[in-house]
Structure 1
């Protein structure tokens, strides 16, 4: 259940990335899961 969103360089206000690689500017978000914030 839920969706994964990968963002290059940009972050989303109010969303916490599940994983991030600041060196390359890549952020992984999981939306709609039981653990999203």
Structure 2
């Protein structure tokens, strides 16, 4: 970047919980990619 600053954020989303309905919607649940 212009200022020489980098922001690093870890993805702390739980994996493999197999919650009922977690894959029913593309924008909420497993693999949601809205930031």
TM-score range, shorter chain: under 0.3
- TM, length-normalised to structure 1: 0.21
> Which has the greater radius of gyration?
2
Higher relative contact order (CA 8 A, sep 6+): 1
- TM, length-normalised to structure 2: 0.22
**Bigger strand share:** 1
